[in-house]
């Protein structure tokens, strides 16, 4: 029995001893901390206390961030929290230079795959490294990627407009790029003629155009973050009944897009060369009118920020919108290829970013208005292309709008191919909403 008691009490005694040690250690830490505080100068303590109070006051004064918008903008009230793109620090620039030197060495040794990765790494470290842009451009030319080479030289010139090497390189690629673009426009023109030759009463064409209408609304709101499915959107438009359990704001965005499309189709398409500011405001009033009637159809009165792009100040918005409309109605603009004209109008409007919300949707509607006035079908930028879409817009903001024009041309060709395939003898359905983008790049070859 004595052994059993001893076995039971020994662990308890060990725990008591451990607890006593821990308490003595805590008392010792407390005494040392007090001694350090006593040794600190009073002024330092006051400074630290004041800094703490200032920090707390700053945190209390911070405004509440607005709810996440479906656009890529935040109002200037959150400016102090916005981190703008900065220059690469010196140590990062050194790393980029070392990567470039290694890339050139790998290229000299014929290890082109390694060289390619090192060029990319150098530009990831320092996106504004002009020498790397030039050398990677030359490397791309050698790989027969003229479009990428031209883009790299163009970016180098945006950073350093008088760089002799970039000027010489761009002078070599620009004529080739213009020829490639014109050839692509010719292919698109051939496909437009084929689509226009389809009889208007063709049942397959009528069916696919009706389907593409719902697809267009689905993708254009999904790009901005709307979570409604294609079937839910169809239900809302056809029945005007709400979908239970879904955001009313999102459902109102769909109704707004439907109203705006109807306005464009019935009122504006026939008025070639006479787009006004009032027309753009009316489009926007319908786009946003059901979700945010206060901001719908009026220019913003606050500064907004879109990624690294800072749109014009609110006081300059109306002036820049007048200039945009004047350009759209000019002979110069109408002399451009319809796809180029539509892409530039889209880009110019989204660059001005004249509204608090709904800029992307309004810009895409304006683009499609121009295309439809030229006899093209309305095109759809699919939600799966969102990353590429924003990437080429950012490239345009950095000074090279050509990638954005090519992106819109690709979307145009994809839409034309869809119509041509759907109206052939063995027709197929539209690509599934939210499905794979594998088919987006596939096109129908046309003999020219």
Q: Is 227 known as a binding-site position?
A: no
Q: How far apart are CA 174 and CA 137, in angstroms?
A: 13
Q: Is 158 known as a binding-site position?
A: no
* Distances in whole angstroms, Cα of residue 258 to Cα of each of 207, 236, 262, 284: 18, 10, 6, 12
219 is catalytic: no
The CA radius of gyration of the chain, in Å to the nearest whole number, is: 30
At residue 92, the 3 state secondary structure works out as helix
Q: What are phi and psi for residue 30, nearest 5 degrees?
A: -65, -45
Q: Is 358 known as a binding-site position?
A: yes
Q: How far apart are CA 312 and CA 306, in angstroms?
A: 11
Q: Is 386 known as a binding-site position?
A: no
Sorted by sequence, the CB contacts under 8 Å of residue 207 that are 6+ apart come out as 422
Q: Is 307 known as a binding-site position?
A: yes
Of 235, 346, 353, 391, the active-site residue reads 353
Q: Is 390 known as a binding-site position?
A: yes
Beta-carbon-side half-sphere exposure of residue 80 (alpha carbons within 13 Å):
8
Q: Is 269 known as a binding-site position?
A: no
Beta-carbon-side half-sphere exposure of residue 49 (alpha carbons within 13 Å):
8
DSSP per-residue letters across 402-434: HHHHHHHHHHHHHHHHHHHHHTSSS--PPPPTT
> Could you tell me how far CA 337 lies from the centroid of its own chain?
25
CA torsion, ordered 350, 351, 354, 355, to nearest 10 deg: 50
Q: Is 195 known as a binding-site position?
A: no
Q: Is 361 known as a binding-site position?
A: yes
From the list 293, 295, 291, the residue with the least C-alpha distance to 250 is 291
Q: Contact at 8 Å (CB) between 101 and 388?
A: no
Q: Contact at 8 Å (CB) between 382 and 219?
A: yes
Q: Is 309 known as a binding-site position?
A: yes
* Distances in whole angstroms, Cα of residue 55 to Cα of each of 50, 61, 86: 9, 10, 25
> Could you tell me how far CA 310 lies from the centroid of its own chain?
14
Q: Is 337 known as a binding-site position?
A: no
Angle in degrees, 0-180, between the axes of helices 203-222 and 402-422, rounded to the nearest 10: 140
| DSSP classification of residue 111 | -
Q: Is 306 known as a binding-site position?
A: yes
Q: Is 23 known as a binding-site position?
A: no
Sorted by sequence, the CB contacts under 8 Å of residue 253 that are 6+ apart come out as 70, 221, 224, 226, 290, 291
Which residues are tagged catalytic? 353
Residues in binding site for ATP: 306-309, 357-364, 389-390, 397
Residues in binding site: 306-309, 357-364, 389-390, 397
């Amino acid at each position: 029995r004595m052994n059993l008691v001893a076995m039971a009490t020994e662990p308890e005694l060990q725990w008591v001893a451990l607890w006593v040690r821990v308490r003595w250690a805590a008392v010792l830490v407390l005494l040392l901390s007090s001694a350090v505080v006593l040794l600190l100068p009073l002024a330092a303590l006051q400074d630290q206390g004041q800094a703490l109070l200032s920090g707390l006051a700053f945190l209390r004064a911070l405004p509440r961030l607005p709810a996440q918008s479906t656009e890529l903008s935040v109002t200037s009230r959150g400016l102090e929290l916005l981190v703008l793109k900065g220059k690469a620090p010196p140590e990062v620039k050194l790393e980029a230079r070392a990567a470039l030197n290694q890339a050139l060495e790998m290229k000299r040794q014929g290890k082109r795959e390694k060289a390619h990765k090192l060029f990319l790494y150098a530009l990831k470290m320092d996106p504004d490294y002009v020498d790397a842009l030039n050398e990677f451009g030359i490397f791309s030319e050698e790989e027969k990627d003229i479009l990428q080479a031209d883009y790299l030289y163009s970016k180098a010139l945006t950073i350093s407009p008088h760089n002799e090497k970039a000027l010489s390189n761009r002078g070599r690629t620009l004529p080739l790029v213009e020829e490639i673009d014109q050839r692509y426009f010719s292919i698109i023109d051939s496909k437009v003629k084929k689509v226009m030759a389809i009889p208007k009463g063709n049942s397959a064409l009528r069916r696919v155009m009706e389907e593409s209408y719902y697809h267009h609304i689905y993708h254009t709101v999904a790009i901005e973050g709307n979570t409604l499915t294609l079937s839910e959107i169809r239900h809302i438009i056809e029945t005007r009944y709400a979908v239970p359990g879904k955001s009313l704001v999102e459902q109102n965005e769909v109704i707004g897009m439907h109203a705006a499309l109807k306005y464009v189709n019935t009122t504006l398409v026939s008025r070639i060369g006479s787009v006004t500011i009032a027309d753009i405001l009316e489009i926007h009033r319908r786009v946003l009118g059901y979700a945010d009637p206060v901001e719908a159809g009026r220019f913003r009165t606050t500064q907004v920020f879109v990624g690294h792009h800072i749109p014009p100040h609110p006081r300059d918005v109306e002036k820049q919108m007048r200039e945009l409309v004047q350009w759209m109605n000019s002979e110069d603009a109408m002399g451009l290829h319809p796809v180029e004209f539509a892409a530039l109008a889209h880009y110019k409007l989204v660059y001005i970013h004249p509204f608090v919300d709904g800029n992307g949707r309004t810009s895409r509607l304006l683009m499609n208005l121009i295309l439809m006035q030229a006899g093209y079908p309305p095109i759809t930028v699919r939600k799966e292309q969102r990353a590429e879409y924003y990437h080429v817009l950012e490239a345009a903001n950095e000074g090279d709008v050509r990638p954005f024009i090519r992106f819109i041309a690709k979307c145009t060709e994809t839409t034309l191919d869809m119509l041509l395939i759907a109206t052939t003898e063995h027709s197929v359905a539209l690509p599934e909403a939210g499905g794979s983008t594998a088919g987006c790049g596939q096109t129908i070859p046309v003999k020219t």
